[in-house]
Chain A
């Protein structure tokens, strides 16, 4: 909510969307797939940005909604493929419902407790998919036929690409509108000083819960798309490593900016690819987690404002 909204703030994302739209014919199948992955994780990261960056709620269990969205698609898909018209809302709805449950309980706590509780509830969901026979256990499940909607068939890579792009544009635009609205302003106020907001008359619990559910729903959307992209789901989608990764993405890019979530997602996915490519880092490739860990530590210690902060320091782009 820094100062008046910059008139040209929408220009950069628009250019980005256009660039993404024209990319497919220029890229190899491997790179196209990578871009789709980046876009899906951008949606995931954007959903967490609403929670952490805007509202100040550090959740360490966000992957639960991501994974739940993914599993819902696979579990609800009819054997010959279903229609996106009901499968997408179902996935988003399932994630939102669990977010309502988790949010209602965890928002009764603050600070460290909140972090721990969100992690625990995510673990509970992970457990259900990992240890029980409900959904294929630790091996995961296959999505035999991807969903359709009229002429759009997600089995076709190009269609999938544009559907994901549309979802990303939708998510970004939705969050931009939310941030500009009264609801968004209230969330920002809650982040800075919840006490002051309550003293002014805001029922802050309700606002936080609404943000939590919206964030969960959008994560569910990302989950739906990741399942459609990969054609397979496994419990690791709900693991705390996944929750940690998405948290990392938004820090990497820079908290407090929607662009940051996208930049962070892209950086993280690319970084992971680079660090695990043997031709680039040799024997370190199979131990990419070590390199990643050290990178994170260095990053948080030296660049607390993320890549956007670095950009500002170097004079690229404007503040806010």
Chain B
């Protein structure tokens, strides 16, 4: 079994009287795509937000390797190796594709006090950006203005920016959102290539894609994990069929 890079233990989040996420314990391993699926309102967004550090947990803990990071801020977790992509594209549309990645990569070598050094000349950031674009398949579009990319291209850039910071764990929030068949294939190919060196959490609605790419699937309903297993086991899991898959094939 490969190393567990990120794990949560009894992670819970309450909003007033509503428990959005209840005692979720999951592991994300190197070399694995671990998909989390569930209907709307199942708690997936809250879960990913807690793991990335955007919202605090009500109780439970999160560990990066052996370190307890539950109280860490999002920027701190990002610098420690947790990358996050968003459901709604959060690229910088007016900058070039390369600049988008370079800026993200800059977080690793901020040197904010070195005012006389131009940002565009930062060797480390440029190298990281080049590598990220290469890995995401966007090297050819490096000089294009980010806003002019196709929707699929923008989602690729979203991933590239995530990679530019050199993370070990990737938290991907619906990377396939709004993509057609061809773009989806490309993205899945990308994820397949990435999983070798990363632990990937994939929150997705596209069931076909999930079953194609995931090494492990966790199903959430009403904030709780009702099943967490390999895809074949999930497909034949009665509870899952009743609660989720049975209510019309998701897309």
Q: Do chains A and B touch in the complex (CB under 8 A)?
A: yes
For window 1-44 of A, CB contacts with B under 8 Å fall at 1-5
1/0 contact string of B101-122 vs chain A (CB within 8 Å): 0011111101111111111101
Which A residues are CB-close (under 8 A) to B111?
182
A180: interface (CB < 8 Å): yes
Question: Do A182 and B92 form a contact, CB below 8 Å, given A5-B120, A196-B161?
Answer: no
Question: What's the Cα separation between A1 and B111 when bound, in Å?
Answer: 18
A184, B119: Cβ atoms closer than 8 Å? yes
B126: interface (CB < 8 Å): no
Question: What's the Cα separation between A177 and B108 when bound, in Å?
Answer: 21
B78: interface (CB < 8 Å): yes
Question: Do A201 and B118 form a contact, CB below 8 Å, given A1-B99, A196-B92?
Answer: no
Which B residues are CB-close (under 8 A) to A183?
112-113, 115
Q: Which listed residue, B84, B92, B113, touches A189 by the CB 8 Å rule?
A: B92
The 7 tightest CB contacts between A and B, nearest first, are A201-B107, A201-B78, A185-B119, A201-B79, A196-B90, A200-B104, A200-B107
Question: Do A202 and B107 form a contact, CB below 8 Å, given A3-B96, A181-B114, A182-B122?
Answer: yes
B35: interface (CB < 8 Å): no
Query: Could you list which residues of chain A lie within 8 angstroms of chain B, going by C-beta atoms?
Result: 1-5, 177-178, 180-186, 189, 192-193, 195-204, 207, 210
Min distance, Cβ A233 to any Cβ of chain B, angstroms = 32
B74: interface (CB < 8 Å): yes
Min distance, Cβ B155 to any Cβ of chain A, angstroms = 14
Q: Which listed residue, A2, A182, A195, touches B94 by the CB 8 Å rule?
A: A2
A200, B78: Cβ atoms closer than 8 Å? yes
Which A residues are CB-close (under 8 A) to B74?
198-199
For window 212-249 of B, CB contacts with A under 8 Å fall at none
B75: interface (CB < 8 Å): yes
Which A residues are CB-close (under 8 A) to B83?
199
Binding site of A, secondary structure by majority: helix, strand, loop or mixed? Answer: helix
Question: Do A185 and B115 form a contact, CB below 8 Å, given A200-B161, A202-B75?
Answer: no
B91, A196: Cβ atoms closer than 8 Å? yes
Which A residues are CB-close (under 8 A) to B7?
none
Tell me the number of A-to-B contacts counted with CB atoms below 8 Å: 97
A186, B92: Cβ atoms closer than 8 Å? no
When C-beta atoms are compared, the residue in chain B nearest to A320 turns out to be B94
- List 5 other contacts, CB 8 Å, given A193-B92, A196-B161, A201-B165: A177-B115, A185-B120, A200-B78, A200-B103, A201-B107
| Chain B interface, number of residues (Cβ within 8 angstroms) | 40
B95: interface (CB < 8 Å): yes
When C-beta atoms are compared, the residue in chain B nearest to A184 turns out to be B119
1/0 contact string of B151-191 vs chain A (CB within 8 Å): 00000000001101100000000000000000000000000
B116, A182: Cβ atoms closer than 8 Å? no
Question: Do A177 and B90 form a contact, CB below 8 Å, given A199-B78, A204-B75?
Answer: no
What are 28 A-B interface contacts by the 8 Å CB criterion? A1-B119, A5-B118, A5-B120, A180-B120, A181-B115, A181-B116, A181-B119, A182-B122, A183-B115, A184-B119, A186-B103, A186-B106, A189-B92, A195-B86, A195-B90, A196-B90, A196-B104, A197-B103, A199-B52, A199-B86, A200-B75, A200-B161, A200-B164, A201-B76, A201-B108, A202-B106, A203-B76, A204-B75
Min distance, Cβ B168 to any Cβ of chain A, angstroms = 13
Question: What's the Cα separation between A193 and B158 when bound, in Å?
Answer: 13
B103, A181: Cβ atoms closer than 8 Å? no
When C-beta atoms are compared, the residue in chain B nearest to A1 turns out to be B95
Question: Do A182 and B119 form a contact, CB below 8 Å, given A196-B104, A199-B84?
Answer: yes
Min distance, Cβ B53 to any Cβ of chain A, angstroms = 8
Which A residues are CB-close (under 8 A) to B115?
177-178, 181, 183
Min distance, Cβ A53 to any Cβ of chain B, angstroms = 14
A177, B110: Cβ atoms closer than 8 Å? no
Question: What's the Cα separation between A316 and B241 when bound, in Å?
Answer: 65
Which A residues are CB-close (under 8 A) to B119?
1, 180-182, 184-185
Question: What's the Cα separation between A278 and B101 when bound, in Å?
Answer: 56
Question: What's the Cα separation between A263 and B114 when bound, in Å?
Answer: 29
Min distance, Cβ B143 to any Cβ of chain A, angstroms = 9
Question: Do A203 and B75 form a contact, CB below 8 Å, given A1-B99, A185-B106, A210-B112?
Answer: yes
A182, B75: Cβ atoms closer than 8 Å? no
